[in-house]
Chains A and B, each alone.
Chain A
Amino acid sequence: MTHATSLERPNALATGRWQLWVDRGGGFDILEGERFSIGGPGGDDPADIAVRYCWGRRVATLIRSDGGDSICYGAEATSVTGRPLGQDQALIFGSANHAALPRLRYQRPCPLSGSAVVSVIPPHRLFGPIDAVILFQQTLLLGPETLNHVRVPALSPQGWIVFRRGDQWWIRGTHVAPQPLEIGQRWQYEDWSLMIRPG
């Protein structure tokens, strides 16, 4: 029996937390919202972007707004705005010379999409069994090139766009009409597949 488990949770739409699994592409947390905490696992209350490190509290807050994304470090976290983030930059905590501290990488690979990707620079890792966190905003790009949020080198050059319309996730390709993505169900096209589950 193939246990395509029913993983749908009623509060996923409310929390704005999802997981995306892409064969040959990676596993991702998809987060929706405007403020995201960065920190350690923190027991029962992990940070939105939780790193496997002995951070016992939030070390930064990533803020998304129409004017661009920004980050507030430590004590700055209560402020409304933070330091603006570029399209691709490292997020350094503490002294730059402190090699032991985790460093994150923030990327907005495509200027046409508001979504951003936050990953952890080795040797550290995110707390969950995922490769990166996607801060979702309207669209999400998948494909082999670097301008995609989810890089799948094995994919044909044809790009794919994942987007939300109301409560429904959709996917469309360059030459493929939009198709609905059922939560917790595998979506498959030729030799690759993906699945979105509640986070």
Chain B
Amino acid sequence: MTAPVYPAATHFSLASGTRVLERFTIQRGLGTGGFGEVYFALSDAGKEVALKRIQRNLEIELRGVSHCLNLKHPHLVSLYDVCRDESDHWWIVMEYVAGPSLRDCLDAAPTGLGEAETRRWFAAVAAGVGHLHHEGLVHRDLKPGNLFDDYGTVKVGDYGLSKYISESRRGGQTESVGTFHYMAPEIGRGEYGREIDLYALGVILYEMLTGRLPFDGETCQEIVIKHLSAEPDLRAVAEPYRHVIGKALQKDPRRRWSSAAEMAQAMGLLLERPQATNSPPFSAPLPNNGAAVFPTTYGAAASHSAGFAAESPVRARFADAAAQHSDGSSPLQPAAPAALPVMSTACQPQEPIAQALSVGCQNLRCWWQEVQLSPLARAVVIGVAVFLLVRNLRWLLPLLTVVGMVYVPYYVIRQMFLVRHRRRAVPVHQAVPAAVPVAYAAAQPLRAARLPKRVVRNNWRQMKRSELAAKRASIQLAELTGSGIAAAITVAFCGVAAAVIGLRNADAEATLVAPYGWAAVIGLTSSLVILSLGKLWEAGEGDPLHRRLALAGSGGLIGALAYLAAGYLMIPLEAGMERSIDATELPHALYLDDGTPRLAAMMAHFAILLAAVRWWKLADPLRSRRLSLWSVAVVVVTDWLIHQIVPIPQPWGMLVAGTVVIAVQIAAPWESPHGWKTASPLGQGAST
């Protein structure tokens, strides 16, 4: 085999299919720079790698590169090897990053990435750069083109070669104007401390938030002069980012932040050491709304030294950034909704039992999708499962009832505690979009006007959701009290109206009025429970399964109350048990021989009713309509359907369901969705 021939040209020297270093086959060119060319290649075994061929006036300092070769960090592009081919060309074999660079992302978002995305990028970049500094290395060429998003994992690249790039730059050989935007002023004096990386981080942070550069110009000289003498205009950036960027862009390196970790900490991103876990490296992304995808846990990194902790952040989370600012100034800024984050969901802890159940269900579903069974076999499996379930209902139902009676109070108390705790931990200026470049957005009305209505409406919802998350507990309690009073009035009105209609041709005897009273009591109790849970859940979208579980447990308790109240009011439970669809014999575990429902039947009915309907949507302040008649119809029909399986006396069951759905909607607070049209300049633009 002879060595590849490298023609001197601006295009890639090597074609797809070319074999290099005896074991790699080049697939395509990825990019070129001052140092040479980068290719995407596959090893003979199928490993995807990026091959960087060092071409221009560079002598590889093997010792320094070897240091980089053994760096291990989830936010650094891994270097696998440095090899020399038969033509004495040096190649760096490195991790292939499939995703876009930050440069690509910024080009696609001219007004900035938004706060959540900015924090996600910055947390990871600060972690990677911090690790480099901890290892005694300075990147020297931090810029958006060297930062990559590898399918959700942000990585810092090109760190092993930065020294050489810098040297070639000083030779006036290769670098474009773009690189000068991130150069610290002391580089002109030949100072290459870690402060130049922190300076570049400040520039990158500014650019991510605003889409612009703090120092721009037509020529390299103009840009460099601004770096040396001009003060950045940070008016478009809100706190805490203004403070962070301002300190990072200090002309005197000694007045800058001391580390990337300190910089991140000032933004409320605490960087912690890795924990031994098998969890995937990142939490699941929250797509389509700019929500944060923050690093959570990484694999074990036991080989790292104890000193790793300070600057080897592999877990980033929000913290109380307000504590970082002593000036006490309000960090609130009006902002364009295009950059709204959804933080409450990102940092909301999940209830472990419900989470385990959710994971179990997901695994079951995954298994069901993958299992190699014919449709007939699947039907048989489902049939057997249903048979076993029905067969064991006699002991399963009481067991679930007991579990529900324990779990629901635990869940409610836990939610109440955690919601309060979370609201203390996430200050308002983090919960609302604080760092969006207001001035720039205001100066771009036409661009804002092009935002689709759906996007603006979603952003408005996110903003409102953030405001709900930041609401104080006392205000919530006051709102809940008001809702309870409104619900009581509504239920009373519905009860009276139903009684007037139902008893129009009868005397108002106690035995005839009692069922209406029973329905009103159960309706009011159910409404209060749903309103309370809705208040707990209004700050975030939440996991529907968890919520249905909590509602099912609450429904069981309401059913028990309904049964006891019916006995107290001497309401004949055997009446109104006719079913229209299912005429099979009722299970003895739930019903007496004459069809009278037992306690378990009543509990099961209400548990199913509350679990079957997404009641939190009806109590959500951001629901589309204050009172949806469609929802009323759906709930009543749902109760009728449940009655076909687990009957309770009718029409009282449907009366309760109808009363609850009306009372909840009328009593729950409501933000008119038309607010997004007038709430912000962007909204106005989009609605015109």
> Which residues of A are in contact with B by a Cβ distance under 8 Å?
1-5, 7, 21-27, 54-57, 59, 74-75, 94-95, 97-100, 121-125, 129, 131, 153, 184, 186, 188, 190-193, 195, 197
**Which of B28, B99, B362 contacts A23, CB < 8 Å?**
B28
What interface size band does chain B fall in?
35 or more
Given contacts A23-B29, A24-B29, A191-B11, 6 further A-B contacts (CB under 8 A): A2-B4, A7-B17, A21-B28, A22-B28, A74-B369, A188-B11
Task: Verify A57–B17 contact, CB threshold 8 A.
Answer: no
Task: Verify B11–A4 contact, CB threshold 8 A.
Answer: no
Task: Verify A94–B284 contact, CB threshold 8 A.
Answer: no
**A27-B28, A27-B40, A56-B370 are contacts. A193–B4 as well, Cβ < 8 Å?**
no
A5, A23, A25, A122 — most chain B CB neighbours (10 Å): A23
A3, A153, A186 — most chain B CB neighbours (10 Å): A3
**Which of A21, A59, A100 contacts B16, CB < 8 Å?**
A21
**Which of A56, A98, A99 contacts B285, CB < 8 Å?**
A99
Check B15 for interface membership: any CB of A closer than 8 A.
yes
Q: 18 A-B pairs, CB-CB below 8 angstroms?
A: A2-B4, A3-B17, A3-B18, A4-B18, A55-B369, A55-B370, A75-B375, A94-B369, A98-B365, A100-B284, A121-B287, A122-B149, A125-B98, A129-B46, A129-B48, A131-B98, A190-B11, A192-B11
**Which of A1, A5, A22 contacts B4, CB < 8 Å?**
A1
Residues of B within 8 A of A22 (CB): 28
A126's nearest neighbour on chain B, judged by CB, is B98
Residues of A within 8 A of B25 (CB): 5
Task: Verify B1–A1 contact, CB threshold 8 A.
Answer: yes
Task: Verify B2–A1 contact, CB threshold 8 A.
Answer: yes
**A54-B366, A123-B285 are contacts. A4–B17 as well, Cβ < 8 Å?**
yes
Check B630 for interface membership: any CB of A closer than 8 A.
no
Task: Verify B42–A186 contact, CB threshold 8 A.
Answer: no
Task: Verify B27–A129 contact, CB threshold 8 A.
Answer: yes
Task: Verify A197–B18 contact, CB threshold 8 A.
Answer: no
Q: Name the distance in Å between A136's Cβ and chain B's nearest Cβ.
A: 18
Q: Name the distance in Å between B140's Cβ and chain A's nearest Cβ.
A: 25
B365's nearest neighbour on chain A, judged by CB, is A94
A149→B38 CA distance, assembly (Å)? 23
In the complex, chain B residues 26-43 whose Cβ is within 8 Å of any chain A Cβ: 27-31, 40, 42
**Which of B282, B287, B369 contacts A59, CB < 8 Å?**
B369
> Which residues of B are in contact with A by a Cβ distance under 8 Å?
1-5, 9-12, 14-19, 25, 27-31, 40, 42, 46, 48, 98-99, 104, 107, 149, 151-153, 282, 284-285, 287, 362, 365-366, 369-370, 372, 375, 543-544
Q: Name the distance in Å between B55's Cβ and chain A's nearest Cβ.
A: 16
Residues of A within 8 A of B98 (CB): 125, 131
**A129-B42, A131-B98 are contacts. A4–B15 as well, Cβ < 8 Å?**
yes
A189's nearest neighbour on chain B, judged by CB, is B11
Residues of B within 8 A of A121 (CB): 287
B47's nearest neighbour on chain A, judged by CB, is A129
Residues of A within 8 A of B3 (CB): 1
Residues of A within 8 A of B11 (CB): 23, 188, 190-193
A95→B358 CA distance, assembly (Å)? 13
**A23-B11, A54-B366 are contacts. A184–B42 as well, Cβ < 8 Å?**
no
B16, B372, B375, B544 — most chain A CB neighbours (10 Å): B16
Residues of A within 8 A of B2 (CB): 1
B9's nearest neighbour on chain A, judged by CB, is A191
Residues of A within 8 A of B370 (CB): 54-57
A54→B371 CA distance, assembly (Å)? 11
Task: Verify A99–B284 contact, CB threshold 8 A.
Answer: yes
A57→B367 CA distance, assembly (Å)? 12
B15's nearest neighbour on chain A, judged by CB, is A186
Task: Verify B27–A27 contact, CB threshold 8 A.
Answer: yes
Residues of A within 8 A of B31 (CB): 24
**Which of A2, A74, A95 contacts B5, CB < 8 Å?**
A2
**A24-B30, A99-B284 are contacts. A5–B19 as well, Cβ < 8 Å?**
yes
Task: Verify B544–A193 contact, CB threshold 8 A.
Answer: no
Task: Verify B17–A184 contact, CB threshold 8 A.
Answer: yes
Residues of B within 8 A of A4 (CB): 15, 17-18
A99→B284 CA distance, assembly (Å)? 7
Task: Verify B17–A26 contact, CB threshold 8 A.
Answer: no
Q: Name the distance in Å between A15's Cβ and chain B's nearest Cβ.
A: 19
B28's nearest neighbour on chain A, judged by CB, is A21
**A2-B4, A4-B17, A197-B17 are contacts. A123–B366 as well, Cβ < 8 Å?**
no
A5's nearest neighbour on chain B, judged by CB, is B17
List the 6 closest A-B pairs by CB distance, nearest first. Answer: A1-B2, A23-B29, A186-B15, A122-B151, A99-B284, A195-B16
Residues of A within 8 A of B287 (CB): 121
Task: Verify B40–A193 contact, CB threshold 8 A.
Answer: no
**A23-B28, A123-B152 are contacts. A195–B284 as well, Cβ < 8 Å?**
no
Residues of B within 8 A of A21 (CB): 16, 27-28
Q: Name the distance in Å between B585's Cβ and chain A's nearest Cβ.
A: 33
A111→B391 CA distance, assembly (Å)? 57
Q: Name the distance in Å between B39's Cβ and chain A's nearest Cβ.
A: 9
A130's nearest neighbour on chain B, judged by CB, is B27
A5→B15 CA distance, assembly (Å)? 10
B287's nearest neighbour on chain A, judged by CB, is A121
A181→B57 CA distance, assembly (Å)? 36
Residues of A within 8 A of B18 (CB): 2-5
A25→B362 CA distance, assembly (Å)? 37
Task: Verify A122–B17 contact, CB threshold 8 A.
Answer: no
Residues of A within 8 A of B544 (CB): 97
**A21-B28, A23-B11, A56-B370 are contacts. A3–B19 as well, Cβ < 8 Å?**
yes
Residues of B within 8 A of A3 (CB): 1, 4, 17-19
Residues of B within 8 A of A125 (CB): 98, 151
A197→B17 CA distance, assembly (Å)? 9
A97, A121, A122 — most chain B CB neighbours (10 Å): A122
Q: Name the distance in Å between A25's Cβ and chain B's nearest Cβ.
A: 8
A188→B42 CA distance, assembly (Å)? 22
B20's nearest neighbour on chain A, judged by CB, is A3
Residues of A within 8 A of B12 (CB): 23, 193
Residues of A within 8 A of B365 (CB): 94-95, 98
Task: Verify B284–A26 contact, CB threshold 8 A.
Answer: no
A192→B9 CA distance, assembly (Å)? 11
Q: Name the distance in Å between A141's Cβ and chain B's nearest Cβ.
A: 18
Q: Name the distance in Å between A129's Cβ and chain B's nearest Cβ.
A: 5
Q: Name the distance in Å between B299's Cβ and chain A's nearest Cβ.
A: 16
Q: Name the distance in Å between A198's Cβ and chain B's nearest Cβ.
A: 12
Residues of A within 8 A of B4 (CB): 1-3
Residues of B within 8 A of A122 (CB): 99, 149, 151-152, 285
B371's nearest neighbour on chain A, judged by CB, is A56
B2, B366, B543 — most chain A CB neighbours (10 Å): B366
Residues of A within 8 A of B282 (CB): 123
Residues of B within 8 A of A195 (CB): 15-17, 28
A23→B26 CA distance, assembly (Å)? 11
Task: Verify B15–A2 contact, CB threshold 8 A.
Answer: yes
A192→B1 CA distance, assembly (Å)? 27
B27, B46, B287 — most chain A CB neighbours (10 Å): B27
Residues of B within 8 A of A197 (CB): 16-17
Q: Name the distance in Å between A137's Cβ and chain B's nearest Cβ.
A: 24
Residues of A within 8 A of B48 (CB): 129
Residues of B within 8 A of A191 (CB): 9-11
Q: Name the distance in Å between B32's Cβ and chain A's nearest Cβ.
A: 9
A97's nearest neighbour on chain B, judged by CB, is B544
Q: Name the distance in Å between B4's Cβ and chain A's nearest Cβ.
A: 5
A1, A74, A124, A131 — most chain B CB neighbours (10 Å): A1
B359's nearest neighbour on chain A, judged by CB, is A100
Q: Name the distance in Å between B295's Cβ and chain A's nearest Cβ.
A: 13
Residues of A within 8 A of B1 (CB): 1, 3
